[in-house]
């Protein structure tokens, strides 16, 4: 695929995802009584990712510290 086509396709998908998330948050989409707030789901996923990143960095430092104590 052409590099400009790839760039434009990626931008359209990213902007579309942002617009869908904002619309689902603003207008209260629901299907069969379940709320489809994609913005809230994305925010929860991001917070979970930050938690696991901090946890893994802490675990890495603990393992490096134990390794330094051995040697």
Domain ranges of the chain: 3-70
pLDDT given for residue 71 in this prediction: 65
Contact indicator for 44, 25 with CB cutoff of 8 Å:
no
- For 13-69, the pLDDT digits (tens) are 999 999 988 888 888 778 887 788 888 889 999 999 999 999 999 999 999 999 888
Higher-pLDDT residue of 3 and 53 is 53
Helix (H/G/I), strand (E/B), else coil: 42? helix
State the pLDDT at residue 11. 92
Calpha distance 11→38 (Å, rounded): 19
pTM of the model: 0.66
């Amino acid at each position: 695929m052409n590099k400009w086509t790839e760039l434009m396709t990626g931008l359209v998908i990213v902007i579309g995802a942002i617009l869908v998330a904002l619309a689902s948050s603003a207008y209260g989409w629901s299907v069969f009584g379940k709320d489809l707030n994609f913005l809230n789901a994305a925010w929860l996923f991001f917070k979970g990712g930050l938690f696991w990143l901090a946890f893994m960095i802490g675990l890495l430092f603990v393992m490096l510290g134990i390794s330094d104590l051995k040697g």
